[in-house]
Homo-oligomer: A and B are copies of this chain.
């Protein structure tokens, strides 16, 4: 009897996390593809294959799902970030490989999705304080990571020290975001190639 009860509560727990995870994954996919305000809760529950009513058992609002989506999106490229931090080769080579690998992400969709962080910053900053702060936090963490590797390149002499690593990192992440946004407007890779060219000829030198 005790065992049965344990099983049942374990199964209920699993079903609950499973539905939440499905909503999160579907939310990430749909919100990245078509944006926040163009997407209804029903589209997300349909994409997740769960009843519409179940949404509010897991998220109090679409805003709060979007905030979790920001965290899941930022966590998604953990392997790329690990390679940037501790992969083989010089800091400068790792930075080049890192941005190269980010640039390839959009190829399959003709760059039509853009970066979810940039999309949400543009669409939601004025609308949702929670999402705005989530996006800001993700950008800050990302900047700290890139700044650490630029500082390493400054220590080994491959990047000049005339501008602080943190400023260079912030500038480059924003420039990359702008290039991704322009690639979305052009449906082409030219802005990303220009980003690589100017970054490694003029900035990280």
Residues of A within 8 A of B (CB): 33-38, 112-114, 118-119, 121-123, 125-127, 132, 135-136, 139, 162-163, 167-168, 170-171, 173-179, 181-182, 184-187, 190-191, 194-195, 197-198, 201-203
Contacts and interface: CB of A to CB of B under 8 A. Distances in A.
A28 to B, nearest CB: 16
Minimum-distance CB pairs A-B, first 3: A178-B178, A37-B37, A175-B175
B198 A168 contact: yes
Interface of A is mostly: helix
Contacts of A123: 35, 37-38, 119, 122-123
- Count of identical protomers in the assembly: 2
A163 B113 contact: no
A136 B178 contact: no
Nearest to A140: B186
Given A191-B170, A198-B171, A203-B198, A122 B125 contact: no
A99 B161 CA distance: 25
A114 B119 contact: no
18 contacts: A33-B126, A35-B37, A36-B37, A37-B38, A113-B126, A114-B121, A118-B178, A121-B181, A122-B181, A123-B123, A163-B198, A167-B198, A170-B190, A171-B194, A171-B197, A174-B175, A178-B178, A202-B202
A38, A175, A184: most-surrounded residue (chain B CB, <10 A) = A175
Nearest to A126: B112
Given A119-B122, A174-B191, A127 B185 contact: no
